Amino acid sequence: MISDITAARDSALAEIAGATTPEEVAAMTTRFAGKKGELAGLKKQLGSLESVDEKKAAGAAINEAIGAVDSALDERRANVAMAAMAAQVESERLDLTEFVGKPTRGHAHLVTQAWERLEDVFVGMGFRVAEGPEVETDWHNFEALNMGEGHPARGEFDTLFVDHVGPDGSSGSTVLRTHTSPVQIRTMLTQEPPIYIVAPGRVFRRDTPDATHMPVFHQIEGLVVDRNISMADLAGTIDAFTKAFFGQNWNSRLRPSYFPFTEPSAEFDIQRPDGSWIELGGCGMVHPNVLKAGGVDPEEWSGFAFGFGIDRMAIMRHGVADIREMFADDLRFTEQFS
């Protein structure tokens, strides 16, 4: 009987060693280790043995054989599972070599590029960068800028109102800022002169899009408040800026204009190398009422301010004919720039 057990064990171990798939191992588990397996069958025959010693010896041999077969099955099961997983990983491996070539690099939006360059130029001239909220109070956006309720100049800003009821029950006093000029007020209220800041940011107007207008666009505000500041400082700053931002062969000029928050006021144009002039923004000497609203004494301090359209500067710098092209997200346009 012992020799039968040894033979059954050895042939089971040999077969198990040759199993290569999880399914084969499962079938062998039933055949060799199951209740109806060969070793179980031999175990049942133990009862027919006559001597106790023979029973003992055969019983021990069967238990040893079952143990050996069980551990061989466990080991084989783990090995084929590992091999199956390795095969699956291999079959699902992505061949990325086809994408290796010249990588296409993106670039910042033209408006972002202009925005960052403007900050660089002004920081280089000694200005600090300030900011304010896009949702603004009527007071900061209009009233403190010398445009009280009913002021006709408010009509020039096609304002978007925010549906908001104040703590006192008042409504209609919150707007999407129509320009970056409210940052002038916020800066003066939080900072003592001398003040030298620029404030780039997004602004909103109910303007119909055309070649030079967008309803959401960007401006950069400038504010200087110091002793003995004159219109000559404003002109000199703008000229230095034009040459630093656009290049040495670009000229700028100031044309008399009107803004409620500056007096005198001017419009700022630049001349392209081809000789044509384009309006980029407004500027002027800060109105005494605006200095007062900002808590600054107009007898002691004076200042100038400007507000330029960043989007217009971007199209100017890159020779783009229509401002809307910059926001169409058309790769044929975008890829022309770096």
Q: Which is nearer to ligand FA5, 130 or 283 (CB)?
A: 283
The answer to whether 138 and 175 have CB atoms below 8 angstroms apart is yes
The answer to whether 234 and 256 have CB atoms below 8 angstroms apart is no
Q: How far is the CB of 126 from ligand FA5 (least distance, A)?
A: 19
Regarding 146 and contact with ligand FA5 (CB under 6 A), the answer is no
Task: Convert residues 213-242 into a mask of x (bound to ligand FA5 by CB under 6 A) and - (unbound).
Answer: xx--x-x-----------------------
Task: Convert residues 32-51 into a mask of x (bound to ligand FA5 by CB under 6 A) and - (unbound).
Answer: --------------------
Task: Give one DSSP letter per residue of 10-51, joined into a string.
Answer: HHHHHHHHT--SHHHHHHHIIIIISTTSHHHHHHHGGGG---
Please choose, out of 25-33, 84-92, 106-114, 300-308, the segment that lies near ligand FA5 by the rule CB under 6 A.
300-308
Which residues 168-187 are close enough to bind ligand FA5 by CB under 6 A? Answer: 179, 181
Please choose, out of 4-12, 69-77, 128-136, 280-288, the segment that lies near ligand FA5 by the rule CB under 6 A.
280-288
**Which residue matches tokens 């079938």?**
27
Rounded Cα distance, 287 and 264, in Å: 8
Task: Convert residues 193-212 into a mask of x (bound to ligand FA5 by CB under 6 A) and - (unbound).
Answer: ------------x-x-----
Partner residues linked to 278 by β-bridges: 270
**Which residue matches tokens 């700022």?**
268
Backbone torsions φ then ψ of 304, nearest 5 degrees: -125, 160
Please tell me what DSSP assigns to residue 215.
S
Please tell me what DSSP assigns to residue 210.
B
Q: Which is nearer to ligand FA5, 24 or 207 (CB)?
A: 207
Q: How far is the CB of 163 from ligand FA5 (least distance, A)?
A: 23
Q: How far is the CB of 322 from ligand FA5 (least distance, A)?
A: 12
Rounded Cα distance, 224 and 243, in Å: 20
Please choose, out of 91-99, 112-120, 228-236, 304-312, the segment that lies near ligand FA5 by the rule CB under 6 A.
304-312
Partner residues linked to 222 by β-bridges: 198, 306
CA angle 275, 281, 285 (to 5 degrees): 115
The correct pick among 24, 226, 263, 279 for binding ligand FA5 (CB under 6 A) is 279
Positions touching ligand FA5 (CB under 6 A) are 179, 181, 205, 207, 213-214, 217, 219, 259, 262, 279-284, 305-307, 309, 311-312
